[in-house]
């Protein structure tokens, strides 16, 4: 194989790998913008090496950044009480008294 032909083959292979990388990145980002259940189901099938090859953290920050900004009103939502005896809406509690939302794990 001549050097010119080798260069063309190498260029074609490199271009193909770049296109494949782009497609896989788009697929990973698309998975990240799905709901938690769907995202979890997809990620259980992704090999661990993907976390080293793809910009996972950058994609995650972008996909999960949300649309709220400082100073925006909190979105209204409904939750069950701990004992599941009733449902409350943020808007109904918000008007009556200050509301503190704590997210975390206590286990």
pLDDT digit string (tens) for 14-69? Answer: 999 999 999 999 999 999 988 888 988 988 998 988 889 999 889 988 888 877 77
State the Cα–Cα distance between residues 56 and 48, nearest whole angstrom.
11
State the Cα–Cα distance between residues 52 and 46, nearest whole angstrom.
12
Higher pLDDT, 19 or 75: 19
How many structural domains compose the chain?
1
Q: Is 14 domain-assigned?
A: yes
pLDDT, position 17: 96
* pLDDT range class, residue 107, cuts 50, 70, 90: low
pLDDT, position 18: 96
Q: Is 79 domain-assigned?
A: no
56: nearest Cα among 37, 39, 79: 39
Residue 22 lies in domain: 3-63
pLDDT, position 85: 93
Task: Please report, for residues 44, 56, 64, 102, the alpha-carbon distance to residue 41 in angstroms, rounded to integers and kept in the order given.
Answer: 6, 17, 17, 27
Q: What are phi and psi of 87, to 5 degrees?
A: -110, 145
């Amino acid at each position: 194989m001549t050097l010119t032909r080798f260069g063309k083959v190498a260029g074609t292979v490199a271009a193909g790998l770049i296109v494949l990388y782009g497609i896989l990145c788009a697929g990973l980002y698309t998975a990240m913008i799905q709901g938690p259940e769907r995202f979890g189901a997809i990620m259980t099938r992704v090999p661990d090496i993907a976390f080293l090859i793809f910009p996972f953290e950058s994609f995650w920050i972008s996909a999960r950044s949300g649309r709220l900004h400082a100073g925006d009103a909190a979105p209204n939502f409904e939750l069950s009480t701990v004992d599941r005896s009733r449902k409350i809406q943020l808007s109904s509690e918000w008007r009556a008294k200050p509301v503190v939302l704590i997210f975390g794990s206590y286990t």
